Chains A and B, each alone.
Chain A
Amino acid sequence: MARSSPLRRLGFGLFCSIIVVLCLFPFYWAMVSSLKSGTEIFATDLWPKALTFQNYGTILQDASFGRSFLNSTLVALSTVGMALLLSITASFALARIPFRGRKRILLAILSVTMFPQVAVLSGMFELVRFFGLYNHCSALILSYMTITVPFTAWTLTNFMREIPKELEEAAIIDGASYLTILVKIFLPILSPALVTTGLLAFIAAWNEFLFALTFTLTNQARTVPVAISLLSGASQHELPWGNIMAASVLVTLPLVVLVVIFQRRIISGLTVGAVKG
């Protein structure tokens, strides 16, 4: 294809704009709605007649929402930390140490990621009860690990395989132990991959709803997605859309900030295989 015709470029631009609008409109709508007040929220204006931050004020003053926000942060960070710790060590073994049944374990890990959450919900509930973790944040951390660890372990194993074997052997000859090799050689090389998988795990844990709804009972243990869904108005028949929208926007912000911060590293993480000694 030489130079594309203007018509072709216009078509491509149009196509892209449609996708962008489709993706961003719901978020835009949430933002705009959160800035409306009273009955105006039920109008279909694309921009509010009178801007108000009243909804944000209500949400920020709500102590239970603050608590949920803290819970979400705690749960997501712990999940990411533990998932990375487990999957780094696991993937080192799976990618680097030859042992019997390595392929089968990898296959098992992959197949675990295919189960729908609902399928494991009741079993997981029994497990949570058995450990006495019901209505406790650690129940969520435990259950989120079943979602995140297979994914991070699988991804990191593939990244770890890309590292040339000679690097490891050079380190062995230099006298490094397995732990030194992992910490001093592999982790720095893998850092873009770690950031990428860690971020994806964080998003998954931050947004998770089903387990959070099932394994928690009170505001003490609730995470933000559940808390938002349970926001209620003055009466049974009133849904505080304004507050819900404001809370949704507030919850999305940390993710946006994280992605912006790590954006460059995510991109280089996708090409980590191209890095050769």
Chain B
Amino acid sequence: MSTIALKNVTKSFRDHQIISGIDLELSGNACTVLVGPSGCGKSTLLRLICGLEEPTTGEVHIDGRCVNTLPPVERGIAMVFQSYALYPHMTVFDNMAFALKISGCSKTDIAQRVHKAAKTLNVEHLLDRKPKELSGGQRQRVAIGRAIVRHPKIFLFDEPLSNLDAALRVKMRHELARLKAELKTTMIYVTHDQSEAMTLADTIVVMRDGRIEQAGTPLSLYHHPENLFVAGFIGSPTMNFLKAIVEKIQSQYLVLRFDSGETLSIPITRAELSARKPSLSLGETITVGIRPEDIKEEVSSTEDGAIFSGKVSLVENLGNETHVWVTLPGGATLNLRQAKKDVPHALGQEVALLVRAARCHIFDPQGKAIQRTQKEAACSP
């Protein structure tokens, strides 16, 4: 169990700033997932923590101690690489024992630790093989085993599953979750896959362009994204966004008008509205976000919301559910989730959709979310 603190860390390569001023504190036996689109600096951040890169400015602290100048091996970390990076000329046993040999462990100690790690990862029968004789999943296990044997304080994973095929990726994800529960150490995991982030993380840190966009538990990010980027990044299929104009500001409601003419009254208090400075004014264009599962097709519903009509433009059957894309007359598209029991849609079919007011996210013209307490209540159906 360790604490990691980044204090105003920046990193530039030549004139190009990759990490611009990050403050972050992680502690406990938690798994923190750094997630973001490629090039957002998440891998660089990981390399700064493990010591493969030095920060340009700022400090990296591990357990309260500044480790800026410490070499990786003295930081008590272990790292699993995307490409496994197994030593090709060594057997699995030697791969796992390499770090222990360097640190001067006794032979019996090494053998014991390697066998224990191999057992945890079900690779005991592979100890005499070379990496080239292993499958992708087995290589990944060995790479993890190489990290485990050292009993590190902190585990770092750099997109460990992105080289595996889809089925194996899910399997290894489950194993990582099991491992996480067994090892009880601090883990930092980098991925660009938001579903990996959602399933493995205790805390998700969403990054973009070298900055932290939002950090929090997976569900808080899902239900209360702080800005448009996080709202669009977390969740699959992605959240729908519609532009709307502020038409009326009432004591309990915000009335919005969409381009296509529909109006929507969103429950919000004065206090919540005034939390945003400067406060919204009439005529401003804001963005309404709605998750695919919060769009209903029961037009007769008495629930508050806006009714949109459009044509089905794409249908994806997943078996357990169906994703339907509907193009609105204005050109915008809405995607929604249909449960299995619903009547399947045909392409080109006219449908009417209810966007539920209680479940809408609203974002000001700068893309920052305006949080509403009424929405929270609606989040648990």
Contact = CB atoms under 8 A, between A and B. Distances in A.
B376 to A, nearest CB: 43
Given A172-B52, A174-B99, A277 B72 contact: no
B88 A173 contact: no
A57 interface: no
Contacts of B77: 173
Contact of A166 (B50, B83, B99): B83
B93 interface: no
Contacts of B73: 172-175
A176 B98 CA distance: 9
A184 B131 CA distance: 16
B308 interface: no
Nearest to A165: B85
A173 B131 contact: no
B83 A164 contact: yes
Contact of B87 (A172, A173, A175, A185): A185
Nearest to B94: A184
A210 interface: no
| A-side interface mostly | helix
A167 B102 contact: no
B205 interface: no
The dominant DSSP class at the B interface is loop
Given A175-B73, A277-B131, A170 B85 contact: yes
B83 A277 contact: yes
B72 A172 contact: yes
B186 to A, nearest CB: 16
B87 A164 contact: no
Contacts of B87: 167, 170-171, 185, 277
B273 to A, nearest CB: 51
Residue among A166, A170, A275 with most chain B CB within 10 A: A170
Interface in A150-180: 164, 166-167, 169-176, 180
B102 A175 contact: yes
B85 A180 contact: no
Contacts of B88: 189, 275-277
B76 to A, nearest CB: 11
A275 B82 CA distance: 17
B79 interface: yes
B97 to A, nearest CB: 10
Nearest to B82: A166
Interface residues of B, number: 25
B72 A173 contact: yes
B89 interface: yes
Interface centre among A172, A173, A176, A185 (most CB of B within 10 A): A173
Interface residues of A, number: 19
A188 B94 CA distance: 13
Interface in B51-85: 52, 71-73, 77-79, 81-85
B49 to A, nearest CB: 12
Interface in A8-31: none
Interface string A192-216: 0000000000000000000000000
A151 to B, nearest CB: 25
B81 A169 contact: yes
Contacts, number: 63
B108 interface: no
Contacts of B103: 175
B206 interface: no
B81 A176 contact: no
A275 B89 CA distance: 10
B365 to A, nearest CB: 44
Nearest to B98: A174
Interface in B218-271: none
Nearest to B77: A173
B330 to A, nearest CB: 49
B31 interface: no
Contact of B86 (A173, A176, A184, A277): A277
Contacts of B72: 172-173, 175
Interface in A218-248: none
Interface string A245-277: 000000000000000000000000000000111
Nearest to A187: B89
B130 to A, nearest CB: 10
A273 to B, nearest CB: 13
Interface string B95-111: 00011001100000000
B50 A173 contact: yes
A189 B89 contact: yes
Contact of A173 (B52, B83, B89): B52
Contacts of A185: 87
Contacts of A174: 73, 98-99, 102, 146, 150
Contacts of B85: 164, 166-167, 169-170, 277
Interface centre among A166, A188, A189 (most CB of B within 10 A): A166
B79 A176 contact: no
Contacts of A166: 81-85
Contacts of B146: 170, 174
A277 B84 contact: yes
Most buried by B among A164, A171, A175, A185: A175
10 contacts: A164-B83, A167-B87, A173-B78, A174-B150, A175-B73, A175-B102, A189-B88, A276-B88, A277-B87, A277-B131
Given A170-B146, A171-B87, A173-B72, 6 more contacts: A166-B83, A170-B79, A172-B71, A173-B50, A276-B88, A277-B88
The 6 A-B residue pairs whose C-beta atoms are closest, nearest first, are A175-B73, A166-B85, A174-B99, A170-B85, A188-B89, A173-B72
